[in-house]
Amino acid sequence: MTITTEQRAADTIRVLSMDAVERANSGHPGMPMGMADIAVVLWSRFLNVDPTDPTWADRDRFVLSNGHGSMLLYSLLHLSGFPITMGDIKEFRQWNSETAGHPEYSPQVGIETTTGPLGQGFGAAVGMAIAESRLRAVHGPELLSHHTYVFCGDGDLMEGVASEAASLAGHLELGRLVVFYDDNAITIDGPTELAFSEAVPARFDAYGWQTLTVDGHDRDAIASVIAQAIAEEDRPTLISCRTDIGYGAPTKHGTAAAHGAPLGPGEITGAKETYGWELPEFAVPDEVYGFFTDAMGRGIDERVAWEGRYREIAEREPERVARFDAMWDPDPVALSAPDAEAGSLVATRVQSQAVIQQLAEKRPDVVSGSADLAPSNNTLIEASTDFSAKDRTGRNIRYGVREHAMGAVINGMVQHGGVRPFGGTFLIFSDYMRPSVRLAALMGIPAVYVWTHDSIFLGEDGPTHQPVEHLASLRVIPNLHVIRPCDPTETAAAWEHAINRLAGPSALILTRQGLRVPDEAPDRAAVAAGGYVRRPGDRAVLLATGSEVGLAEEAAALLADEGHSIRVVSMPCVECFNDEPKSYRDEVLGEGLPVFTLEAGTTDLWRGFTANGGVAIGIDRFGASAPASVLAVEFGFTPEAVADRIRAVLG
């Protein structure tokens, strides 16, 4: 039997995947073996990427949402000439290897996003497609015009985040989004029929997608449906690919045994015999390297042509190119505190709204969004329209009631580049976004979240909507900066920090209720340190955040009348404060002084700050439905009650 080079390329992916998983004694060989034919067709005939310039702006994006099959991606990257070596393949799942168990965000080697938590890659890809369509509309197709391709499996489509993202993509008519569904009818537990019997194409038809079906091992048929998908400009496309998991394995193909464990030497030997494979472990035929080198020539040519267009436009329309460049590499921005009358009561969500308008004017790459709560979150960019199927230039994204998808889509937009998104919802619903937030922190990408209605003081909606544990739970996510401002200066500083920070995500935690605007604004440099002395004192320290800073100042004033000099410390960002030198932290908190903390939430974190007999004043139970003023009395969040807690210790 004659084996074509294209067939040999697909078999090479299968063999590398089997061998790497076997050597690691850990991994998922079945999906790479089943999707190898689809991958080879896409990468060799359609995908425009350049291994010599992996982060070229107008490259096609490829997302492996079913990231457990990571050896498929690593094999493709290695064979195509990206900086994944055979040594990396041999070190699959080992310490410090580029080939982690699931793909980890590394655009310089061709990995566009971290995947593994199922559905997250799908959602991120929708974000990439949104970014592409907006940039194409704003700057013109000569500067940006590409496709986003996604591989996903049954697990991705069972997760709710993918359903939300697919619904949004259909509504927005993202025609340059193409998803390959690996319909292999197998999950870890066994056949999908154990838990999954829906008609997936019919569901996506209802979402407004084009749906196509193909034999996932018929490469010419695969090429035909990809061409159909690319031709469809007004709808995203789902291609259902019927495949055999563990393709070629003598006894484990088509079974759950091929999903998430090494196949074993006997099964690997049998599979290689099926492929007619006679080379030793980790050997790649020269013809396969040549095949992928030739295929990558298409992307290299596209990148060279793009650079030519870029230069021509730069000569003809320098301002247009300058605007384009500024979207990809914007300068840091300085933001001033919004005007507010001293003594007036203004919610930090309202203060934030004013800062957003200032930010939007200075940074055209910034886009807003909210999960159907824009009037409550105060997130709209007032001078802009909505991003929609009819208007791709709009800067306000209406996510609908889809917090899960919003988090994943934000990640994808950030990773695409050229767009800096933020998304808003109530703090209580950050729970719905948590997997995406965790991934943003893990990837170190600068996503921004606006979470309002931050405490029991939203009042009558009751404990279902009153976050008490959320601040603590978010602060334990490594690399997430949680910022809870208390006044206009802190709110502007919070936005400035969030938008200029590039090493990870930031969350702005904002109030529903009005807070008193201070008579004198705090020092901006001190605010930037994350924690600073708001009111001097040498008898004890009362540390507070957000809406409780004003309460702390009132309690300190009561105690001052009794001769107790209480230092009030505002700490809008614990993470920033902890990054300051110990000498500064000791200076702010005082050495040997009793330290009390005050925040309308759980106290676990704050018990680490209390010292010398001080206590953490908070709420270690769920809230209640009542007016905010009543809740303040019942939960001990009045100046008198706080003063009593401190007085009991000081005597």
Q: Report the DSSP pairing between strands 366-370 and 237-242.
A: unpaired
CA distance 64 to 73: 7
Alpha carbons 377 and 157: distance in angstroms, whole number: 30
- Residue 183 vs residues 193, 391, 462: alpha-carbon distances, Å: 12, 34, 44
Q: What is the dihedral of CA 324, 327, 331, 337, to 10 degrees?
A: 130
Instruction: At 238, give phi and psi (nearest 5°).
Output: -110, 125
Active-site residue list: 403
Residue 236 main-chain phi, psi, to 5 deg:
-70, 160
Q: Where are the beta strands (DSSP E) in 371-418?
A: 386-387, 396-398
Q: Measuring CA to CA, which residue among 406, 445, 440, 411 is closest to residue 425?
A: 406
Please say whether the beta carbons of 471 and 141 come within 8 A: no
Instruction: Kindly list the distances between the CA atom of residue 383 and the CA atoms of 302, 364, 370, in Å, as whole numbers in the listed order.
Output: 36, 11, 16
Amino acid identity, position 243:
T
Tell me the residue type at 272: K
- Altogether, the residues listed in the chain come to a count of 651
Q: What's the token pair of residue 183?
A: 């319909």
For the record, the structure tokens of 185 come out as 């009818």
Tokens for 341, please give them.
């009358």
Query: What is the four-CA torsion angle of 35, 37, 39, 41, rounded to 10 degrees?
Result: -150
Alpha-carbon separation of residue 437 from 209, 339, 440 (angstroms): 28, 32, 5
Bridge partners for 179 per DSSP: 150, 238
* CA angle, residues 645, 649, 650, in degrees to nearest 5: 110
User: 544 by DSSP, 3-state: which?
Assistant: strand
Q: Is 529 in a helix, a strand, or coil?
A: coil
Strand order across the 616-617 sheet: 532-535, 566-570, 540-544, 595-598, 616-617
